[in-house]
């Protein structure tokens, strides 16, 4: 099973070839950045075959309590709100259990009522 796809030479978001190695994560993943749209992405990326295998054998760590995860996401949203006080749209990539978006929706509903 191949772990990675071939390295990307263009940005998937804007199609620019103006990408460069931005930094390397603690686990050795190379993070690239597009100079045009500022998107950051892992390069090379995991192959679909590898991800399918990984997630089919993934065991969730149940040691975290749901309340702790909700509290952590609420804190993260508070940081975003402190930097961008005007309420608007929120796009979350890799939303996991969806707690962040759920909390944001609840806060917007509170503002509207």
> Are residue 25 and residue 53 in the same domain, yes or no?
yes
pTM over 0.85: no
Residues 51-64 have a mean pLDDT of 81
Round the CA-based radius of gyration of the chain to a whole number and report it. 18
More confident residue, 60 or 37: 37
> Are residue 71 and residue 52 in the same domain, yes or no?
no
Give how many domains the chain has, as a whole number. 2
> Are residue 17 and residue 53 in the same domain, yes or no?
yes
> Are residue 39 and residue 90 in the same domain, yes or no?
no
From CA 10, how far away is CA 19, in angstroms rounded? 7
Dihedral class, residue 28 (left if φ above 0, else alpha if ψ from -120 to 50, else beta): left
> Are residue 100 and residue 53 in the same domain, yes or no?
no
Q: What is the pLDDT of residues 68-90, one digit of tens each?
A: 888 999 999 999 899 888 878 88
Q: What residue numbers bound the domain in which 105 lies? A: 66-112
- Confidence class for position 109, pLDDT limits 50, 70, 90: confident
> Are residue 29 and residue 8 in the same domain, yes or no?
yes
């Amino acid at each position: 099973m191949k772990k990675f796809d071939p390295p990307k030479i263009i940005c998937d978001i804007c199609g620019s070839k103006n990408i460069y190695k931005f930094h390397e994560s603690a686990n050795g993943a190379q993070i690239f950045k597009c100079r045009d749209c500022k998107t950051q992405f892992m390069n090379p990326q995991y192959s679909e075959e590898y991800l399918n295998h990984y997630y089919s054998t993934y065991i969730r760590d149940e040691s975290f309590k749901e309340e702790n995860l909700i509290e952590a996401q609420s804190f993260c949203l508070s940081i975003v709100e402190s930097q961008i006080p005007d309420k608007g749209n929120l796009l979350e990539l890799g939303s996991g259990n969806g707690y962040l978006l759920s909390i944001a929706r609840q806060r917007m509903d509170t503002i509207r009522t």
